A and B are shown apart, each in its own frame.
Chain A
Amino acid sequence: MMGKPNLDVFAETLLELASADRDVLAVTSDSRGSGRLTGFGQRLPEQIVETGIAEQNVIGIAAGLASAGKKVFAVSPACFITARSLEQIKNDVCYSDHPVTVVGISAGVSYGALGATHHSLHDCAVLRAIHNITILAPADNLETREAVKYACCAEHPVYIRLGKAAMPDVHPEQEPFVVGRAARLREGRDVTLIATGETVPVALGAAEALAQRGTSARVLSMHTVKPLDEAAVLAAADETGAVVTLEEHSVYGGLGEACAAVLMRAGRCVPFDILAFPDEALVAGSQREIFAHYGLTVEGVAHTVSRLQQRRALRAD
């Protein structure tokens, strides 16, 4: 079923949590509208801290609040909060170990034609290289709700990466959301598609298309980019023999390279490819158009899988 934008679910969940616990705070950089927190500000004006357009200040103040026992969500566009305030995240939050949740809103290319200033294709890469932060990129409304609840009681820093497109429900109701454990959304034998965030529905669509061509694809929602579920990545290689990753991020340093490293270090040299944005100035367009341009589509994924299968067949000969 089609759900809401994950951003809306984040805001609803935060309001619920904050209504029940006055220590739950939002810190915003003139970004309460973008973060869907205008209602939060009206309902709980004592629990929102506004810094104005000052992202470094958002993180520094959030760290100070968290040090005094507050459960702080620092909410700002992913492009700014993980770049301009990166040193504050590294030192004041992660190194000092104050349990702030950094919420990067409208991540990846959610801002589409607003251009490179507003894209965050680097956030997973830079945060993966910083010790002491969990990176969550929920796919659907359920994963978003659970990610926010997890972060609220986490004892260490968390980054939640959110898009703003309406997302279909993908996470099975009966399967618990466990941080650090991939959610298996579809079983398959011939290839595994490991996707994260708003690319998960693309992977599911591709699996459906591949099924019609006789290829059975496993689909994982890798909602936790760090710590990575290495066992699920290795099982994908061992049990399906080929892996394709999908992410709304630079090809450098994100989910794809993380999975590649797991496979290579374990000596699993299966056919493998990364679907992400190449190292170039991205084409202008909406999120959907940018996805299409770089092959993050049902057809693009199916094509990549076929190519891997040919390669595997050639190797077998």
Chain B
Amino acid sequence: MLTDKELKVKSLVYRASTLQLIVRAGAGHTGGDLSLIDILNVLYNRVLRVAPDRMADPDRDRYVQSKGHCVEALYTVLADRGFFPAEELETLGRYGSHFIGHPTRAVPGIEHNTGALGHGLAVAVGMALAARMDGRPYRVFTVLGDGELDEGSNWEASLAAAHYRLDNLVVIIDRNGLQITGPTEQVNGLEPLGEKFRAFGYAVRQVDGNDVVALSSALESVPFEAGKPSLLMAHTVKGKGVSFMENQAGWHHRVPTAEELQQALGELAAARRALEEAQ
């Protein structure tokens, strides 16, 4: 098990690898990848009971990434966890590769194909129901973007999650406050979002979604309440960790130039040095 400090270093390494991956592929969802990456870090290094050799185990935990467009962060973490050799990511977006711009089951470690928004939660509900029926101990985790909450299908699925009292289901909202057009509250207001989820029957907690220690303690304490699905509102910063990308809707799917990449990697390296020098 990684120490808190090692986990924090991981996040910086993942950020650098993800940016390099996006630049090499010439495409990617830069801003959302960087807001999501700490959540993935904590899930795959601390919380999920999964491993490359456990993917046929019916009792493995399930992860469904509903915000499928932030796949570069997921690929980076899966490669680090040994689901496939990192070199395979060289083929991302290339002719004939199974590493494409959204998650598919052709890639080891991925449970469900996503990409169209508003689909993951209902599938996660089905997976959680199956666990309940079979008396299996696995939990189902899903990450939704905040922009995708505009899709009504999420709210249908939420009704079912509460109706079936699925306390083996953990819904994480990557609440970075932005979607492609701009701030979520300007595009189609979501607030008071936590109250809405509470009213839909979730046990809701708020967390700094870019703080791996806070995320760990929240995700290690699921279910938040017996008999209710858990909802973790992860307050994140789109573009987190790179000064000129943070909170900029324009970085939704912009690819850094070579110069921007160097600057970003420099900032991440400096953050890592500071972290390693600190007590």
Contacts and interface: CB of A to CB of B under 8 A. Distances in A.
Interface of A: 46, 49, 51-52, 54, 56-57, 59-70, 87-88, 91-92, 95-98
B129 A61 contact: yes
Interface string B124-147: 111111110110000000000000
B51 interface: no
B112 A92 contact: yes
A91 B64 CA distance: 14
Interface stretch (B115-123, B214-222, B233-241, B248-256): B115-123
A207 B124 CA distance: 51
A61 B133 contact: no
Interface stretch (B22-30, B151-159, B261-269): B151-159
Nearest to B151: A56
B58 interface: yes
A18 B209 CA distance: 44
B122 A57 contact: yes
A61 B130 CA distance: 10
Contacts of B205: none
A144 to B, nearest CB: 26
Contact of B130 (A69, A88, A91, A92): A69
A91 B113 CA distance: 7
B127 A96 contact: no
Contacts of A88: 119, 122, 153
A49 B112 contact: no
Interface string B83-124: 000000000000000000000110000011111100101111
Contact of B113 (A54, A61, A96): A96
B156 A51 contact: yes
A98 B133 CA distance: 18
Given A46-B133, A64-B127, A88-B122, 4 more contacts: A57-B125, A61-B125, A64-B130, A87-B116
Contacts of B129: 49, 61, 64-65
Contacts of A91: 113-116, 119
Please report whether the interface of chain B is mostly helix, strand, loop or mixed according to DSSP: helix
B160 interface: yes
Nearest to A63: B123
Contacts of A62: 126
Contact of B156 (A56, A92, A96): A56
Interface residue tally of chain B, by bracket?
A: 20 to 34
Contact of B105 (A61, A66, A68, A96): A96
A81 to B, nearest CB: 14
Contacts of B152: 56
Contact of B111 (A46, A65, A67, A70): A67
A224 to B, nearest CB: 26
Contacts of B160: 51-52, 54, 57, 61
A64 B122 contact: yes
Contact of A64 (B104, B113, B123, B134): B123
Contact of A60 (B58, B125, B131): B125
Ranked 5 nearest A-B pairs via Cβ: A64-B126, A60-B122, A68-B130, A61-B126, A64-B127
B127 A68 contact: yes
A83 to B, nearest CB: 14
Contact of B119 (A46, A51, A60): A60
10 contacts: A54-B159, A57-B125, A61-B160, A63-B122, A64-B128, A65-B130, A70-B133, A95-B104, A96-B105, A96-B113
A31 to B, nearest CB: 15
A24 to B, nearest CB: 12
Contacts of A56: 122, 152-153, 156
A57 B130 contact: no
Nearest to A46: B133
A183 to B, nearest CB: 35
A63 B152 CA distance: 18
Contact of A61 (B111, B115, B122): B122
A19 B253 CA distance: 51
Nearest to A87: B116
B205 to A, nearest CB: 24
A173 B52 CA distance: 50
A68 B134 CA distance: 10
- Interface core residue of A56, A59, A66 (most chain B CB under 10 Å): A56
B58 A97 contact: no
Given A96-B113, A97-B105, A60 B134 contact: no
A66 B128 CA distance: 11
Contacts of B124: 64
A301 B112 CA distance: 47
B137 to A, nearest CB: 13
B143 to A, nearest CB: 15
B153 A60 contact: yes
Contacts of B113: 91-92, 95-96
A67 B119 contact: no
A57 B134 CA distance: 21
A74 B104 CA distance: 23
